Structure 1
Amino acid sequence: MVLASTFPAQRGDGTPEFVADLAGEEAQESDTLVVVPRVKGAPRSEQSNGFRVRRFAYFPRRWEDLADGAIIENLRNRKSRWLQVLPFFVAEALTTLKSVRSGKPDVIHAHWIVPQGIVAALVAPKTPRLVTTLGGDLYALNAAPVRMLKRWVLRGAARVTVMNADMRQRVIELGADPAAVEVLPMGADLSTVRPRKVHTDGRTRLLFVGRLVEKKGLGVLLDALRELSGVDWDLTVIGDGPLRETLESDAPDGVRFVGTKGREELREAYARADVAVFPSVPSSSGDQDGLPVALLEAMGSGCAIVASDIPGISEAIDHEANGLLVAPGDRGGLVQALRRLATSPEARSELGSAAATTARTRYSKEAIGERYRAIIREIVASARS
């Protein structure tokens, strides 16, 4: 059984699909049920990519939007959404309990410590748990009662996977068994990478992909572009979020906001881009990126990458070898990196080719999926013995 809170209503609708991709990989060896919250336009149950999906209702449909996107950011954006938190937790717990009793899963794979890890530990304490934290619930949500809950979940987990070495150290400090913790990010679907477009007009096409929230750092990039003089550039911003109106009103000429795009449109955007930029920064709440799947997809497409030097990203990007790293929030460093790539098609080509090789060999969903399947086999074997 897979528990998660981010899941597309329809494949390709623009919602991140890393949970669905991994569930498809896990379903190659396991009868897999995915339990997720209801979102607009989604059926309550369906069969998809070899696994079953069961969606639970948690609030009157007219106002039910806590799980539309990132829950933490949704709560920050509108305080009234806190009214949905307790009903969400109760509905997820009841649906999970019913599913455990009827299906008797060998393993529960909980994406995020909070709330899915808590739900799994509470309603199915005897079922072995694989807990995957992607960053937001680990870096943020650090009030004392929540830390106690996270410690309880991690100490009881059969295995824990994290996106980078820094996160591994953090979950160990919270009480996870070091031998049970593995750095294993989400995989990227590189099966439909498009051939790169060759531009000869002298313009550098920049691309940003991500939710428009503080930790993604788009504001830093927009400030840097104001100083990128003497370079012909344009920037396409793919994504949506609570900061869109503010960022769009503050953007310099040459920036185009196009909203959320599905997987096929993203593939075309990667193929057209010369440079993909991921200027991530730690947010005021302490939240920060683990290892964005969009970064891995851009690498796999052969884009030259400019990204922030933070844990996770710095484990995928080797500075000067398969991309360029700048200190988070360093506007001047970002200007220098962008200018260098804008004025050197050769550097863009070399770094992009190296990034594609890294993504294919280390971060494809097939490679990551095989490791997750192995972990599940190990958990089952250990439980049976």
Structure 2
Amino acid sequence: MTRPRLLVLASTFPVRPDDGVPAFVLDLARHEAEEFDTVVLTPRVRGAAADEVVDGVRVVRYPYFPRRFEDLADGAILDNLRARRSRVLQVPSLLVAQYLAVRRAVRSGRPDVVHAHWAVPQALVATLAAPRVPMVVTTHGGDVYALRGALLVRLKRWVLERAAHVTTVNGEMRQRLTAWGVPAARTSVVPMGVEPGPAAAARARTARTAGRVVAVGRLVEKKGFAVLLDALRRVDDVAWELVVVGDGPLRAQLEQRAAGLPVTFVGQRGKEEVLEALASAEVVAMPSVPAANGDQEGLPVTLLEAAAVGAAVVASDLPGIRDVVRDDVSGLLVPPGDVVALAAALRRALSDSDGRARWQAGAERAAEPYAGDHIGARYRAVLRDAAGRGTD
């Protein structure tokens, strides 16, 4: 029997599976490839092969700007634009190149369904370049919470109303989409997943370090690392050290803010090292905040990884995060941006060994529904349905 064909569109994708770039699109594509002949189409980045097969998934990368200057898609596009405004010159070229690449992929591969990660630009481009192919759109956070101008919201509504199905990673995002007019019957909450095997292996080989707080993520405003540093500066009655895993445009500012504190910035690390860092922590901090432009977390994959290694999590009380962390059950929740409350929660987590044990066990239980096999099966069902009925 001929397998159905799937074209996956993404703008953030690793060069290598363990190079530190968020790999949730690749992880999910592996599960999608269990049923679909899967091709991922993504922008070119330095050091990446133009066409390769990774664990049964074909990955095709297209050029979009002169190679010497081509860096808009190295990481998160919105963050890269904020870090250097001149990168806006690459946006039109990226859109045109993606449009042409999708057209070529549709002509040559004849996909039965498209899975577009992020409403803008991927779903927008697919709507224009492949209007006859059913499309599933997955919104991750920034494409719903940010880009809030009236014209951009109308554009996103136009795209999402034409999708066969739209998934979001938390319920509050789904409510926003239905408020925009996207039919509720064509939306669902299906987050990204976490692979329990590597998480369990990292926990088994890694000893927890007394007093260690670990924070993982891109060094951008919505991660809230400035709030974390200010909070930890208030924790002067409990021994602690902070390890920050990640890189980004705010690194220099954050390093200055951490002056005099026992803080180590280790930069971007691969998934295996990230899991080991999370497993080594007595406390994992997720101090996320809404950014000035409205961007905020959808459901951080790092949070799922922290839960999967059985970490005691202190996190901001935001949609998506609270789906995993129940206050005093699977971690501690604090109001986003509240330095005093975060300091109190960190002090409690560092000093209350009984509480940590309870939250660690609760986090492991909370991670179970997000196992990659389970999430992959849910996405395959959505794609199967979309491919079978087309768009309405």
Distance 1:199 1:56 in 2: 43
1:378 equivalent in alignment to 2:385: yes
Q: Deviations over 1:133-181 (max 9, x none)?
A: 1010111112222112101111001100001111001111222110111
Equivalent residue for 2:51, pick from 45, 49, 74: 45
Equivalent residue for 1:305, pick from 313, 334, 343: 313
Range moving further from structure 2, 185-194 or 148-157: 185-194
Answer whether contact 2:137 2:163 (CA < 8 A) is retained: yes
The equivalences for 1:202-213 within 5 A come to 203-213=210-220
Distance 1:329 1:384 in 2: 42
Aligned to 1:141: 147
Aligned to 1:325: 333
Given the superposition, is the C-alpha separation of residues 341 and 156 from structure 1 closer, same or farther in structure 2, using an over 3 Å criterion? Answer: same
Equivalent residue for 1:246, pick from 253, 266, 269: 253
The equivalences for 1:254-269 within 5 A come to 254-269=262-277
Answer whether contact 2:135 2:391 (CA < 8 A) is retained: no
Equivalent residue of 1:192, what SS? Answer: helix
The equivalences for 1:1-385 within 5 A come to 1-193=7-199, 194-195=202-203, 197-198=206-207, 203-251=210-258, 252-359=260-367, 361-383=368-390
Distance 1:383 1:263 in 2: 36
Range moving further from structure 2, 259-268 or 375-384: 375-384
Report the AA paired with residue 263 of structure 2: V
Distance 1:29 1:198 in 2: 38
Equivalent residue of 2:388, what SS? Answer: helix
Once the two structures are TM-superposed, the CA of residue 118 in structure 1 deviates from its matched residue by 0.4
Answer whether contact 1:306 1:325 (CA < 8 A) is retained: yes
Equivalent residue of 1:191, what SS? Answer: helix
Equivalent residue of 2:390, what SS? Answer: helix
Once the two structures are TM-superposed, the CA of residue 198 in structure 1 deviates from its matched residue by 4.8
Answer whether contact 1:224 1:332 (CA < 8 A) is retained: yes
Distance 1:183 1:82 in 2: 32
Answer whether contact 2:164 2:390 (CA < 8 A) is retained: no
Equivalent residue of 2:343, what SS? Answer: helix
Q: Deviations over 1:205-249 (max 9, x none)?
A: 100000100000000000001100111000000000100000011
Distance 1:148 1:329 in 2: 30
Equivalent residue of 1:232, what SS? Answer: coil
Once the two structures are TM-superposed, the CA of residue 114 in structure 1 deviates from its matched residue by 0.2
Distance 1:36 1:380 in 2: 21
Answer whether contact 1:154 1:175 (CA < 8 A) is retained: no
Distance 1:286 1:384 in 2: 31
Given the superposition, is the C-alpha separation of residues 199 and 118 from structure 1 closer, same or farther in structure 2, using an over 3 Å criterion? Answer: closer
Equivalent residue of 1:41, what SS? Answer: coil
The total of aligned residue pairs comes to 382
Report the AA paired with residue 99 of structure 1: A
Unaligned runs of 5+ in 1: none
Distance 1:353 1:245 in 2: 36
Distance 1:35 1:261 in 2: 24
Distance 1:281 1:384 in 2: 36
Distance 2:292 2:82 in 1: 12
Distance 2:360 2:208 in 1: 15
Answer whether contact 1:150 1:174 (CA < 8 A) is retained: no
Answer whether contact 2:207 2:279 (CA < 8 A) is retained: no
Once the two structures are TM-superposed, the CA of residue 88 in structure 1 deviates from its matched residue by 0.3
Answer whether contact 2:213 2:282 (CA < 8 A) is retained: yes
Answer whether contact 2:32 2:376 (CA < 8 A) is retained: yes
Equivalent residue of 1:33, what SS? Answer: strand
Equivalent residue of 1:257, what SS? Answer: strand
Distance 1:240 1:373 in 2: 33
Distance 2:390 2:189 in 1: 22
Distance 1:284 1:195 in 2: 36
Identity %: 52
Q: TM-score, normalised by structure 2?
A: 0.95
Report the AA paired with residue 140 of structure 1: A
Q: TM-score, normalised by structure 1?
A: 0.97
Report the AA paired with residue 256 of structure 1: T
